[in-house]
């Protein structure tokens, strides 16, 4: 894929962000908000959608667990990301709206897809009343269902039996194709919170560090968790071989950053590596 050609095509797209907590009715309202702003294409939970049709991507709502759903929604899977980039490069819309639960999530998506930063942020509170938001949240809590701004026939091709029902949008009387939404119930829907034990994080980090032949000994490995962000402090002995200590330490930092992020879905705040002793074994 020609990255310079991609950048040229994607740089012309004006980005809008539609932001609100999960379950507040963003997908339900998406087509109305898009129409108000003259937007033809939406990115919602990993899908590229226009006028009730899926154009590219795969829905996070089709995943079997919440961790994979998060990774899918922020385009962490390379094949998924490349498919969407290829489509947008070949068919660049003038305006594109991205749905997300936070500004941070928006920033991750535009960075991974090589898109411009949003020129406008729209919050769910600007579109829905407090009563409507509470009703949407109650519906999510009680029924554990999710809305996709896509026609029923298209959803049946993408959700492998997870289809529950179809609803009409809040704005009846508008174009039929643009007012249709479909409800799905993903396998991972549940109440509660997924946690990863501290000891498991330490073991995962240790295994990642031990891949390769430059670690002579791991003397200390401390992990702190702050608001689902991980900070790691490591003290090691290194076998240099034909590389410098600095290049090895940087490679280990990258390995931990990518590996832990991929395996846990958590954000890695920092990785601090202290080299205690250096060996020159070949």
Give the residue from 161, 184, 207 where a domain finishes.
184
Please compute the mean of the pLDDT values over residues 57-63 and round it to a whole number.
80
Longest dimension (CA), the chain: 76
Give the residue from 155, 184, 213 where a domain finishes.
184
Residues 6+ apart with CB under 8 A from 90: 9
Distance of alpha carbon 179 from alpha carbon 5, whole angstroms: 35
Alpha helix (H) residue ranges in the chain: 3-10, 26-36, 66-73, 78-90, 103-113, 124-127, 130-143, 152-158, 176-179, 198-210, 245-264
Query: How high is the pLDDT of residue 164?
Result: 40
Please compute the mean of the pLDDT values over residues 56-80 and round it to a whole number.
84
* Average pLDDT value over all residues in the chain: 79
Distance of alpha carbon 116 from alpha carbon 87, whole angstroms: 16
Q: Which range, 45-54, 91-100, 125-134, 203-212, is most confident?
A: 91-100
- 220 with 259, same domain: the answer is yes
- Among 26-35, 120-129, 161-170, which stretch is predicted with the lowest mean pLDDT? 161-170
- 119 with 143, same domain: the answer is yes
Give φ, ψ of 166 to 5 degrees.
-125, 145
Q: How far is CA 235 from the centre of its chain?
A: 32
DSSP 3-state assignment of 128? coil
The domain that holds 37 is classified in CATH as: 3.40.50
Q: Examine the pLDDT at 156 and tell me if it is beyond 50.
A: no
C-beta of residue 7 within 8 angstroms of C-beta of residue 111: no
DSSP 3-state assignment of 16? strand
Query: How high is the pLDDT of residue 261?
Result: 79
Per residue in 167-200, is it b (16+ CB within 10 Å) or e — as a string?
A: eebbeeeeeeebbbbbbbbbebeeeeeeebeeee
pTM: 0.56
Residue 203's domain spans which residues?
198-279
Q: Which range, 107-116, 136-145, 162-171, 250-259, is most confident?
A: 107-116
The secondary element (H helix, E strand) that includes residue 103 is: helix 103-113
What percentage of the chain reaches a pLDDT higher than 70? 75
Query: How high is the pLDDT of residue 180?
Result: 53
Query: How high is the pLDDT of residue 181?
Result: 58
Residue 195: pLDDT band (50, 70, 90) is low
DSSP label at 115? Answer: P
Query: How high is the pLDDT of residue 150?
Result: 60
- Among 31-35, 143-147, 156-160, 163-167, which stretch is predicted with the lowest mean pLDDT? 163-167
- 178 with 208, same domain: the answer is no
* Token representation of residue 222: 């401390």
The residues with which 274 forms a beta bridge, in sequence order, are 235
Q: Examine the pLDDT at 162 and tell me if it is beyond 50.
A: no
- 176 with 274, same domain: the answer is no
């Amino acid at each position: 894929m020609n990255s310079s050609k991609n950048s040229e095509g994607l740089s012309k797209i004006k980005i809008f962000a539609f932001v609100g907590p999960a379950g507040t009715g963003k997908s339900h309202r998406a087509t109305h908000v898009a129409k108000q702003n003259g937007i033809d294409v939406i990115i919602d939970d990993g899908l590229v959608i226009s006028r009730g049709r899926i154009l590219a991507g795969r829905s996070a709502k089709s995943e079997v667990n919440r961790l994979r759903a998060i990774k899918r929604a922020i385009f962490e899977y390379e094949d998924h990301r490349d498919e969407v980039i290829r489509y947008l490069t070949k068919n660049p819309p003038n305006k594109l709206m991205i749905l997300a639960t936070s500004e941070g999530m928006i920033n991750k998506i535009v960075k991974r897809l090589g898109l411009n930063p949003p020129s406008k942020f729209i919050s769910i509170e600007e579109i829905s009343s407090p009563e409507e938001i509470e009703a949407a949240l109650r519906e999510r809590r009680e029924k554990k269902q999710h809305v996709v701004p896509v026609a029923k026939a298209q959803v049946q091709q993408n959700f492998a039996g997870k289809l529950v029902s179809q609803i009409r949008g809040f704005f009846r009387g508008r174009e039929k194709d643009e007012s249709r939404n479909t409800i799905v119930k993903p396998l991972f829907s549940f109440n509660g919170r997924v946690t990863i034990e501290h000891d498991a994080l330490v073991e995962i980090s240790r295994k990642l560090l031990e891949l390769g032949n430059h670690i002579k000994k791991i003397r200390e490995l401390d992990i702190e968790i702050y608001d689902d962000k991980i900070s790691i402090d490591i003290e090691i002995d290194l076998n240099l071989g034909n590389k410098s200590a600095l290049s090895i330490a940087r490679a280990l930092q990258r390995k931990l950053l990518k590996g832990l992020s991929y395996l846990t879905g958590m954000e890695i705040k920092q990785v601090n590596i202290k080299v205690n002793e250096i060996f020159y074994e070949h």
